[in-house]
Structure 1
Amino acid sequence: MRVAIFTGSSDGADQRWHEAATQVTRYLVRQGAGIVYGGASVGLMGAVADIAIEEGAEIVGVIPRSLFSEEVPHTGLTELIEVDSMHERKAVMAQRADAFVALPGGIGTLEEIFEVWTWQHLGLHDKPVAFYDIHGYWTPLLRALDGMVDAGFLSLKVRGSLVVADTPQALWAGLGQAER
């Protein structure tokens, strides 16, 4: 199984995010998962890659050439795929992954996880989509999604298709339960 991890190219304002990213990555690869991610050597993306490499796991990075100066491609990956655009990055990541997980991140992380969730809803894939809600990072967003259900703009079925977990073990179990 390959898990696509969407996360930030910065470390965030709290060391807990770095610790959470390394902890969940270590757990996933020790379960036998390969990692597909954004290809950067900086921020939480770099932390994910470093742990996967340290653990001897397969790690595939996908990075648009236009981001080389900001995200600085990681040089120690199993495979680094250079693409021309963010659209191509997401398509390659989706093709290479069997599941998708959002760790703490910003607008890019949101855009990536929402796109693959939308693709799932539209029937373009049947792979699990998850939010790793460590230290309640995603809780405000998840409440907003619940508000969308209450307002009639998001079905309970689509909302329920998201895996939400706050421990590596619960995430792994949720990804397995979400497989079809």
Structure 2
Amino acid sequence: MSDTVRAVCVYCASGPVDAEYLRLAADTGTAIAEAGFTLVSGGGNVSMMGSVARAARAAGGSTLGIIPEHLMAKEVADLDADEMVVTETMRERKRLMEERSDAFITLPGGIGTLEEFFETWTGGYLGEHDKPVIMVNHRGFYDPMLAWLDDLSSRGFVSARSLERLIVVETAADAVAELTHR
């Protein structure tokens, strides 16, 4: 286990997805637990969010769920989490997820996942934290966005330094390997 990374936040889908993505989430949770890290998640027990947490616990890992009150019913809270924190707002949830995590892994997801990813990545670029930000580009899921970011960089809107901060890998195992070597 890394001396600098103890807790890993995973951003991923909380809505319906294909079984392939549920397996990716489970692989991520298993890899995090087997590396000895605590999983920090959005506190839901459905879709990829639930899959990553259940797999982490099944592999002997510890889980921390952070969920706002208004999503308790909508996301169906992960009541099996080793620790559950209920916040008043989404902003408080994201702040606590960032504070309680030493690294971030983004799996495929929708607008909520993207919003969390961009906020965390931007925070690192602006010097608010120096924690690793990893994107799992499973089967090219993020290829269009990565091409768009490269285009924005070529136009001067995204600095090369910010792109260098983003670690892009293809698998959950690769993401966790990045963290165990820190």
TM-score bin (small chain): over 0.9
Task: Read off the aligned partner of 1:11 and give its amino acid letter.
Answer: P
Q: Does 1:9 align with 2:41?
A: no
**What CA RMSD, in Å, does the superposition of the two structures yield over aligned residues?**
1.2
Task: Read off the aligned partner of 1:16 and give its amino acid letter.
Answer: E
Return the offset for 1:34: 0.8
Return the offset for 1:175: 3.2
Percent of counterpart pairs with the same letter? Answer: 37
Task: Read off the aligned partner of 2:47 and give its amino acid letter.
Answer: G
Partners of 2:32 and 2:56 within 8 A in 1: no
Task: Read off the aligned partner of 1:100 and give its amino acid letter.
Answer: F
Corresponding residue pairs, total? 177
Task: Read off the aligned partner of 1:129 and give its amino acid letter.
Answer: V
Separation in 1 of the partners of 2:173 and 2:47?
24
Calculate the TM-score normalised by the size of structure 1: 0.94
Return the offset for 1:18: 0.8
Matches within 5 A, 1:95-134: 95-134=99-138
**Regions of 4+ moved over 4 Å:** none
- Partner residue in 2 for 1:172: 176
Task: Read off the aligned partner of 1:37 and give its amino acid letter.
Answer: S
Return the offset for 1:142: 1.0
Separation in 1 of the partners of 2:54 and 2:173?
21
Separation in 1 of the partners of 2:16 and 2:61?
22
Structure 2 unaligned spans of 5+ = 1-5
Q: Does 1:160 align with 2:150?
A: no
